[in-house]
Amino acid sequence: MQGQTSNLSSFPEDNISVIQGGIEFIGKLNSCVLLNLNLRSPSKILMRISSFKADSFKKLEKKINAIDWILYLPKNCHLKFNVTARKSRLYHSDAIAQRCEKIILDQIRSGSGFDGIPGKISTQTIYVRVEDDNFTVSLDSTGELLFKRGLKQKVTQAPLRENLAFAMLFWAGFSKEDILIDPMCGSGTFSLEAAMIQSSIPPGFFRSFAFENWPGFSPKAYSHTKKQAQKNFTHCSAKQIFASDIDEMALTAMEQNVSHSRLNHVIDVSKTDFFTLLPSMISPEKKGVIMLNPPYGKRLGEKSDTRSFYREIGKKLTADFKGWRFGIILPSGEYKSSLGLKLELKPIYHGGLDIFAGIGII
């Protein structure tokens, strides 16, 4: 959450406040464009378009029909609904979605609105939240979750999400000037995210968004926005990100991802065993950041094996990386003692699992 609010500080939004599950603020329509393009940690940017009270389907239908949907949706779009209802007379989410869908489609298809992009049928998700008969209706401006940066062509088993990688880099104090070692790189989430940060590339630069199908979207203005962002790309004179792994499939995926993203000049990829890696091989004098996403769970085996593996990682870090900042994924808080390092545990939710990020200085 801290990373999200600090990201927002550079945008001209009003009344920024932290709410359950996210951040709420008032901004212009163009904010959806800029925030989707530039924010690294959120999952989605929703645009709230209406709030009202309804305790019957008749009242709900009247309120939904009162929204001028041709301002927001093209005629040829498909609709998806994400409905949650609590402590309300209208509690059946499927019934709420069906009533809303019929009214919205009837309105946009019978009106004189935007036909949509020729040859392209878009899908728009509408979020409906109901609590104590109070409805909020929002449009998903993002589309696929924001952690999808549009860089990866290949992924390995249990890849780390990019927004979580950013959060861990942020917590570890990673900056553009830092050396980063990513010795269990997998398909390269830590390295690719760090490379985008060091190169000043907005996280959404290589992907598309749901807002690109809205009637009010201007392709010309968005192209100009991206060209302005591209002017701020920085070229690193020397590689400062060092990714390695011992798994051939992981390295192949990583090399393809680096090549596809055209970040070869920023990231060095090698086949190296973490337990033989010495920081002096990479940065003889300057200390930096080391990030680790070790195999765990089904990828490693029994709990005793996992505990022993983390113990060996802790010994290696203590012996060779004194003074380096670090971040490490732990499947459970109980493995903190196995590492034998002073660290702060931060709970994170990833891939349906409640796991932990360990952050500290060796």
Average pLDDT over residues 249-262: 91
pLDDT number for residue 7: 57
Q: Are residues 194 and 102 in the same domain?
A: no
Task: Please tell me the least confidently modeled range out of 25-34, 45-54, 134-143, 239-248.
Answer: 25-34
Give phi and psi for 182, each to the nearest 5. Answer: -125, 80
- For residue 268, is it within any domain? yes
Return the CATH number at 61: 3.30.2130.30
Q: Higher model confidence: residue 357 or residue 151?
A: 357
Let me know whether 166 and 136 are in one domain.
no
In a domain? residue 145: no
Number of domains, the chain: 2
pLDDT reported for residue 13 = 57
Q: What is the pLDDT of residues 122-150, one digit of tens each?
A: 899 999 999 999 999 999 999 999 999 98
Q: Are residues 60 and 170 in the same domain?
A: no
Residues 187 and 335 reside in one and the same domain: yes
Confidence of residue 69 (pLDDT cuts 50, 70, 90): very high
Q: For residue 154, is it within any domain?
A: no
Q: How confident is the model at residue 300 (pLDDT cuts 50, 70, 90)?
A: very low
Residue 35 lies in a domain: yes
Query: pLDDT-based confidence at 119, cuts 50/70/90?
Result: low
Model pLDDT, residue 297? 56
Residue whose structure tokens are 């932290």:
18
State the Cα–Cα distance between residues 132 and 54, nearest whole angstrom. Answer: 9
Ranges 61-65, 210-214, 245-249, 293-297: which has the least confidence: 293-297
Q: Do 272 and 322 share a structural domain?
A: yes
Is residue 124 one of the residues assigned to a domain?
yes
- Per-residue pLDDT at 354: 87
Same domain, 134 and 193: no
Give the pLDDT confidence score for residue 26 in this predicted structure.
82
Residue 98, in any domain of the structure: yes
Instruction: Tell me the per-residue pLDDT of 159-196, one tens digit each, with 9 for 90 and over.
Output: 899 999 999 999 999 999 999 999 999 999 999 999 99
Residues 109, 192 within the same domain: no
Is residue 230 located within the same domain as residue 339?
A: yes
Q: What's the CATH code of the domain at 238?
A: 3.40.50.150
pLDDT tens readout for residues 330-343: 998 889 999 999 99
Predicted confidence band of residue 11 (pLDDT cuts 50, 70, 90): low
SS (H, E, C) the chain: CHHHHHHHCCCCCEEEEEECCEEEEECCCHHHHHHHHHCCCCCCCEEEEEEEECCCHHHHHHHHHHCCHHHCCCCCCEEEEEEEEECCCCCCHHHHHHHHHHHHHHHHHHCCCCCCCCCCCCEEEEEEEEECCEEEEEEECCCCCCCCCCCCCCCCCCCCCHHHHHHHHHHCCCCCCCCEEECCCCCCHHHHHHHHHHCCCCCCCCCCCHHHHCCCCCHHHHHHHHHHHHHCCCCCCCCCEEEEECCHHHHHHHHHHHHHHCCCCCEEEEECCHHHCCHHHCCCCCCCEEEECCCCHHHCCCHHHHHHHHHHHHHHHHHHCCCCEEEEEECCHHHHHHHCCCCEEEEEEECCEEEEEEEEEC
Range of the domain at 44: 2-140
Quick one: 220 and 179 in the same domain? yes
Q: What's the pLDDT score for residue 14?
A: 59
Same domain? For 28 and 104 the reply is yes
* β-pair partners for 245: 271
Rounded Cα gap, residues 191 and 165, in angstroms = 9
Task: Identify whether residues 196 and 281 lie together within a single domain.
Answer: yes
If asked whether residues 237 and 289 sit together in one domain, one would say: yes
Q: Give the least confident one: 18-27, 170-179, 232-241.
A: 18-27
Q: Is 278 a domain residue?
A: yes
Whether 147 maps to a domain, the answer reads no
Residue 227 has pLDDT above 50, yes or no: yes
Taking CA atoms, 117 is separated from 126, 144, 213, 328, in Å, by 20, 19, 7, 45
pLDDT greater than 70 at residue 329: yes
Report the pLDDT value the prediction gives residue 255, as an integer from 0 to 100. 93
